[in-house]
């Protein structure tokens, strides 16, 4: 009985094959939602979000021209769904022209705006994170810099930027396109790991879903379920770029004005670095907002 063996169980005899049957394929578990906020309350949920304030718990970066403040003038929930096109409310980040505004550290700024993050509230490793976003009308205000991104949670624990790793899911600098990018030890600032995408006939200022799938093997970026960029850990390492994406990240939504990236695109230095007068006028008129319908994180 070279290929069969005799099994005795009580008084019953059964002949079973020596070789096991092939294991049935195990279906992949559906993704579980581990974070969700649709901004349906009367104000920002501070159990989920940290409000960042320039000169208090945040410093000026990238030569940006605004101070971030904790104010209902710059960050609020808009429940006019018929007007915004959102569902159950939308977060509005609304920069203002406030010449001579003094931050808690004594520095002065001519603009204020909003920035919030999930730092110390919700941090995660791997998964799919997405947001439904609406850029300012026309998305043609050179120097406007709305963004949706994540940052390594160890930034304050021994790994300062860029060693902590940064993932830009959506950046816009007032042009009719958005970009994605990664920033790490050998690839930061004008990083080679990036991709610019145009909207293929769609209005950049309509609602769009911006998403990234993050796995131990790499990143895949999407706009409205259309894949726009993919890079693997192996490809990065083959190029000599250190992979720094196996530790938790937290998410950030912010609306900057001017700074190094807008200036690198538009070359403007007056009246503000990266911010021309035409855009200053739009901000001063109160006509510039960045809306967020919802933010979601899913994991297997």
Q: How confident is the model at residue 157, as a pLDDT?
A: 86
User: What does the pLDDT look like over 203-216, one tens digit per residue?
Assistant: 899 999 999 999 99
CATH of 31-299, one of 3.90.650.10, 1.20.1730.10, 2.60.120.200, 3.40.50.620: 2.60.120.200
pLDDT tens digits for range 137-148: 755 689 999 999
pTM for the structure as a whole: 0.89
The residue that leads in pLDDT, 278 or 15, is 278
Q: How far is CA 146 from CA 17, 135, 168, 214, 277, in A?
A: 64, 7, 11, 22, 18
| Secondary structure in 3-state letters for the chain | CCCEEEEEECCEEEEEECCCCCCCCCCCCCCEEEEEECCCCCCCCCCCCEECCECCCECCCCCCCEEECCCCCCEEEECCHHHHCCCCCEEEECCEEEEEEECCCCCEEEEEECEEECCCCCCECCEEEEEEEECCHHHCCCCEEEEEEEEEHHHHCCCCCCCCCEEEEEECCCCCEEEEEEEECCECCCCCCEEEEECCCCCCCCEEEEEEEEECCEEEEEECCEEEEEEEHHHHHHCCCCCCCCCCEEEEEEEEECCHHHHHHHCCCCCECCECHHHHHHHHCCCCCEEEEEEEEEEC
% of residues, the chain, pLDDT over 70: 89
User: For the segment 221-255, what is each residue's pLDDT rounded down to a tens digit?
Assistant: 999 999 999 999 999 999 999 999 999 999 999 99
For the chain, which residues make up each domain, given as ranges? 31-299
Provide CB contacts within 8 A for 203, sequence distance 6+.
none
* Whether pLDDT at 12 is above 60: no
| Cα–Cα distance, 5 to 297 (Å, whole number) | 51
| For residue 5, pLDDT beyond 60 | no
Model pLDDT for residues 54-71, shown as the tens digit of each residue: 999 989 999 999 999 999
CA distance 172 to 193: 16
Residue 219 has pLDDT above 90, yes or no: yes
């Amino acid at each position: 009985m070279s290929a069969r063996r005799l099994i005795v169980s009580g008084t019953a005899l059964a002949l079973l094959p020596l070789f096991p049957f092939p294991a049935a394929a195990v279906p992949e578990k559906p993704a579980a939602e581990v974070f969700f906020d649709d901004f349906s309350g009367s104000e920002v949920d501070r159990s989920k979000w940290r409000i960042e304030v320039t000169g208090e718990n945040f410093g000026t970066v990238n030569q940006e021209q605004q101070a971030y403040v904790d104010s209902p003038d710059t960050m609020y929930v808009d429940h006019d769904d018929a007007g915004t096109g959102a569902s159950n409310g939308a977060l509005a980040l609304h920069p203002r022209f406030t010449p001579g505004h003094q931050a808690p550290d004594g520095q002065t700024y001519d603009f204020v705006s909003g920035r919030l993050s999930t730092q110390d509230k919700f941090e995660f490793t791997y998964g799919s994170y997405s947001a439904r976003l609406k850029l300012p009308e026309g998305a043609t205000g050179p120097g406007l810099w709305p963004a949706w991104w994540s940052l390594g949670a160890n930034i304050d624990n021994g790994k300062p930027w860029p060693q902590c790793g940064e993932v830009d899911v959506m950046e816009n600098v007032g042009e009719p396109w958005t970009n994605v990018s990664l920033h790490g030890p050998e690839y930061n600032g004008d990083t080679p790991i990036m991709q610019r995408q145009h909207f293929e006939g769609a209005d950049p200022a309509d609602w769009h879903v911006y998403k990234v799938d993050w796995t131990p093997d790499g990143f895949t970026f999407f706009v409205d379920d259309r894949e726009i960029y993919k890079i693997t850990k192996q490809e990065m390492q083959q190029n000599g770029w250190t992979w720094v994406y196996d530790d938790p990240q937290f998410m950030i939504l912010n609306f900057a004005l001017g700074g190094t990236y807008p200036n690198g695109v538009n070359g403007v230095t007056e009246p503000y670095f990266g911010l021309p007068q035409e855009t200053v006028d739009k901000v001063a008129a109160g006509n510039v907002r960045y809306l967020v319908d919802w933010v979601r994180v899913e994991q297997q």
